[in-house]
Amino acid sequence: MPSSRLPWIAGTLIAVALVLGIVIAKRVMPSGPADSVAAGPQAISPGQGVVVKVSDKPVPLPAMSLRDLDGHPISTESWQGKVVLLNFWATWCGPCREEIPALIALQQHYRDHLVVVGLSIDTGPPSAVKEYVAGVGVNYPVAIADRALQAAFGGIPAVPATFVVNPDGRIVQRHMGLVDPMLIEHEVRVLANLPTPATMQVVQDTGQVLLANAAFATEIPGLDLEKLSPKQREDLLKRLNTDKCTCGCGLTLAQCRINDPDCKVSLPIARQLVEKFTK
């Protein structure tokens, strides 16, 4: 072969190699944010018109030592970087049972972005809870929530109650009662930074979202504070956020009124304080 043709052949081989390399790279590498890999799993529900509300004062997840129904430790370290749904429930609770299939579907669909944890308040043997969750195909860890754990979340006066935790480990929302599957899904998508048509609102939280923020409340359900001077109101609110309710909830009077406006124990006690501070 003439030596004059060697440079041309070498150049041709290099060009072919580069073209093949580009083709292979396009096949194995994501093409950008619009790529399905980068975008993550597709939404199950449409999400149009959904408004995701999060507290302007998120609170850290309390320290927990959880064990599943077989007695094995549940590692909270594995939750880091994921959205967490802490679902307080009970086997005897109809709405709790009704929402479990939606939680199962979310855990399966968003397993790389989400951790669902069931926290049962059942007082019977854990074996009964274990039998129930096995029967309905629960695919997420379940633990028994004793009174101390319930108190760490401000008390659980009713179930279901679901706490939404962002990937930084801070509680940003709670839902009392049956969750809306579309809302909870798009909360997960917003917090996990997945594409969604839902919008997010940061709301001023004075305890209606997270009871830990009740100290920021300037109005208390059932109480008329209009007749108090600014100083009297300030002193009263301090007492309401210090004195405990005696109904057994373990909350302050302010927290109990916000959490359960129908409580017949906290209301007369709080009203007596109002009268005391107006004298």
Q: Which residue matches tokens 């009964």?
A: 128
pLDDT: which is higher, 5 or 21:
5
Enumerate the CATH 3.40.30.10 domain ranges in the chain, comma separated. 51-203
Query: Cα 11 to the chain's mean position, in Å?
Result: 59
pLDDT: which is higher, 277 or 87:
87
Give the mean model confidence (pLDDT) for residues 264-273: 94
Give the span between the Cα atoms of 193 and 186, in whole angstroms: 10
b/e per residue 110-128 (b: at least 16 CB within 10 A): beebbbbbbbbbbeeebee
Residue 30, class by beta-carbon neighbours within 10 Å (0-12 exposed, 13-18 middle, 19+ buried)? exposed
- What is 51-203's CATH topology? Glutaredoxin (3.40.30)
Q: Is the dihedral of CA 265, 271, 277, 279 positive or negative?
A: negative
What pLDDT sits at residue 45?
96
Lowest mean pLDDT among 43-52, 78-87, 145-154, 262-271: 145-154
**Neighbour count for residue 153 (Cβ, 10 Å):** 22
pLDDT: which is higher, 208 or 193:
193
Supply the pTM of this predicted model: 0.74
What pLDDT sits at residue 84?
98
What pLDDT sits at residue 144?
97
pLDDT tier, 239 (very low <50, low <70, confident <90, very high otherwise): very high
What is the distance in angstroms between the CA of the first residue and the CA of the last residue of the chain? 112
pLDDT at 24 over 50: no
pLDDT tier, 218 (very low <50, low <70, confident <90, very high otherwise): confident
Span 33-83, pLDDT tens digits = 334 334 689 999 999 999 999 999 999 998 899 999 999 999 999 899 999
pLDDT at 157 over 90: no
Give the mean model confidence (pLDDT) for residues 107-127: 96
pLDDT at 226 over 80: yes
Give the span between the Cα atoms of 51 and 135, in whole angstroms: 34
Token representation of residue 20: 């093949």
User: Which H, E and C letters describe 50-80, residue by residue?
Assistant: CEEEEECCCEECCCCCEEECCCCEECHHHHC
b/e per residue 222-246 (b: at least 16 CB within 10 A): ebebeebeeebbeebbebbbeeebe
Give the mean model confidence (pLDDT) for residues 2-28: 37
Q: What is the mean pLDDT of the chain?
A: 85
β-bridge partners, 116: 85
Highest mean pLDDT among 25-29, 147-151, 266-270: 266-270
Lowest mean pLDDT among 42-46, 106-110, 119-123, 222-226: 222-226
